[in-house]
């Protein structure tokens, strides 16, 4: 069925959508109403009307263009429309910007969960192993000293993990307990330490100091730097053979 | 889905991702000053009592904060959407002033800065230098006043260049009292 030239319709539709303040919806509204009008037109033609009559009948059935336009404007609220449009654009930009970091974060979380501590010496050399499981906090970083291991060569290995509190705004630097903060109940000063750290949301660290005296019983970690303090006492001789 | 529900979902996405991406979670910050404070927290010193100097050149900025016994020096660079993140290379961070007066030269920022421990030093004379293949070349001599915080700085010319055997440093530092008498000197 050939459709009318729609000059009348075009005027009618333009009048309707002129009331819709949210301009981004106008095209869709126009398209939907036009489709509806075409259906009506075809019905009238099949009922025996000629083209001109059907065209006028459709407009008559549709009703007052101003009234419809005002109602459509209420339904397509321009404030909500603009908020919707802007928030959609920002959300899309953020999603695009976050795809790679989310992927990397997921990988580091998985790595953090499944990584384990490294041991500097063979486990058969372990004299005692003390489970400490004490957690301290400096700024917005937590440090949990999990265990201290005494080897028969006089080395002590500390296993601890660090993580930042959720939504921490800190620049994240690796943190290690070094020999500057380690002593024992005899007051020994340890010179130099070695260690390793894993990356991730939860970093796992190993620190090794050498020359823990046979007479010493307690390893002391006394971190005191720029007003931040952490203190651990580890009774290393109480761990028993492992 | 209605537009209202979609808008709520978009706003939730913006809040969650925005906070995660720009609220510090991704270590991207609103200003070089925020980078400095976040860096101080991460390195477990500070926070600075106040910002002594902020100098921006292009997409890079250096911020110097005042600490009890020294300076906090952190450089940053512009990131996405006008945000800032920690600059590349080593970060000075906490700089404890132990001598009468100490100075540093930041060639990328055409800047000499430092602080005095000796409160009698009121004026500083110092020089930026380049060491190339073991030879020292004075690039710029500057004289600047020490402020009430014991801080001093001076802009230098743009002498920055990259090369395997090039590094930049301070050549010497002279400290003068309020009468202009030399009371401290050190040649590096």
The structural domains of chain A, ordered by start, are: 7-76 (no CATH), 118-238 (2.60.40.1640)
Domain annotation covers residue B76: no
Q: pLDDT at position B6, please?
A: 93
Domain annotation covers residue B51: no
* Per-residue pLDDT tens over the stretch A130-178: 999 999 999 999 999 999 999 999 999 999 999 998 878 899 888 999 9
Band (pLDDT 50/70/90 cuts) for residue A2 is low
Domain annotation covers residue B4: no
The residue in chain A having the minimum alpha-carbon distance to the alpha carbon of residue B26 is A101
Question: Can you give B74-135 as a three-state secondary structure string?
Answer: EEEEECHHHCEEECCCCCCEEEECCCCEEEEEEHHHCEEEEEECCCCCCEEEEEEEEEECCE
**What gap in Å lies between CA A175 and CA B44, rounded to an integer?**
10
Closest to B10 in 3D by CA, of A98, A83, A28, A76: A83
Cβ-based contacts of B20 with chain A (< 8 Å): 98
Closest to B183 in 3D by CA, of B127, B113, B117, B118: B118
Give me the residues paired with residue B27 across strands.
Answer: none
What domain range is B126 assigned to? 99-188
* Per-residue pLDDT tens over the stretch A53-111: 888 899 899 999 999 999 999 988 889 999 999 999 999 999 998 888 888 878 887 87
* Per-residue pLDDT tens over the stretch A26-68: 999 999 999 999 999 999 999 998 888 888 899 899 999 999 9
Its pTM stands at: 0.75
Determine whether the interchain pair A171/B86 forms a contact, defined as Cβ–Cβ distance below 8 Å. yes
Cβ-based contacts of B13 with chain A (< 8 Å): 91, 94-95
Domain annotation covers residue B29: no
Domain annotation covers residue B120: yes
CATH number for B181: 2.60.40
Domain annotation covers residue B19: no
* Residue B87, min C-alpha distance to chain A (Å): 11
Maximum Cα–Cα distance across chain B:
79
Contacts with A, B 84-123, CB within 8 Å: 86, 94
* Residue B31, min C-alpha distance to chain A (Å): 13
Q: Are B90 and B73 in contact (CB under 8 A)?
A: no
The total number of structural domains that make up chain B: 1
Does the ipTM surpass 0.85? Answer: no
Cβ count near B12 (within 10 Å)? 12
Cβ-based contacts of B30 with chain A (< 8 Å): none
Domain annotation covers residue B31: no
Q: Are B175 and B101 in contact (CB under 8 A)?
A: yes
Q: Which of B7, B17, B38 sits opposite A95 (nearest CB)?
A: B17
Domain annotation covers residue B170: yes
Token digits of residue B176: 């003068």
Band (pLDDT 50/70/90 cuts) for residue B176 is very high
């Amino acid at each position: 069925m050939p459709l009318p030239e729609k000059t009348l319709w075009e005027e009618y539709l333009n009048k309707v959508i002129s009331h819709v303040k949210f301009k981004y919806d106008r095209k869709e509204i126009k398209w939907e109403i036009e489709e509806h009008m075409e259906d009506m037109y075809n019905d009238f033609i099949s009922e025996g009307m000629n083209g001109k009559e059907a065209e006028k009948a459709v407009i008559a059935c549709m009703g007052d263009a101003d009234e419809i336009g005002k109602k459509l404007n209420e339904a397509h609220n321009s404030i909500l429309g603009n908020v919707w449009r802007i928030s959609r654009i920002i959300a899309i930009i953020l999603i695009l910007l976050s795809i790679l970091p989310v992927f990397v974060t997921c990988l580091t979380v998985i790595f953090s969960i499944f990584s384990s501590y490294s041991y500097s010496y063979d486990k058969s050399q372990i004299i005692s192993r003390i489970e400490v499981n004490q957690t301290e906090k400096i700024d917005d970083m937590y440090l949990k000293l999990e265990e201290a291991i005494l080897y028969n060569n006089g080395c002590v290995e500390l296993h601890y993990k660090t993580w930042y509190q959720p939504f921490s705004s800190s620049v994240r630097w690796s943190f290690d307990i070094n020999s500057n903060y380690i002593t024992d109940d005899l007051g020994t000063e340890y010179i130099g330490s070695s260690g390793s750290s894993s990356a991730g949301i939860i970093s796992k660290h190993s620190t090794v100091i050498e020359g823990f005296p046979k007479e010493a019983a307690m390893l002391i970690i006394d971190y005191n730097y720029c007003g931040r303090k952490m203190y651990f006492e580890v009774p290393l001789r109480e761990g028993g053979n492992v | 889905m209605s537009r209202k529900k979609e808008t709520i979902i978009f706003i939730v996405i913006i809040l969650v991702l925005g906070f995660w991406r720009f609220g510090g979670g991704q270590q991207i910050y609103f200003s070089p000053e925020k980078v400095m404070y976040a860096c101080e927290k991460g390195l477990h010193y500070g926070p600075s009592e106040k910002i002594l100097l902020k100098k921006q050149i292009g997409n890079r900025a250096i911020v110097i904060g005042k600490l009890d016994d020294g300076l906090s020096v952190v450089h940053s660079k512009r990131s996405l959407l006008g945000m800032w993140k920690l600059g590349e290379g080593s970060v000075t961070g906490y700089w404890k002033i132990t001598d009468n007066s100490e100075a540093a030269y930041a060639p990328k920022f055409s800047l000499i800065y430092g602080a005095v421990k000796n409160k009698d030093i009121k004026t500083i004379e110092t020089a930026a230098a380049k060491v190339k293949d073991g030879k020292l070349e004075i690039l710029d001599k500057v004289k600047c006043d020490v402020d009430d915080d014991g801080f001093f700085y001076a802009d230098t010319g743009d002498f920055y260049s990259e090369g395997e055997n090039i590094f930049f440093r301070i050549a010497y530092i002279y400290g003068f009292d309020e009468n202009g008498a030399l009371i401290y000197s050190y040649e590096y």
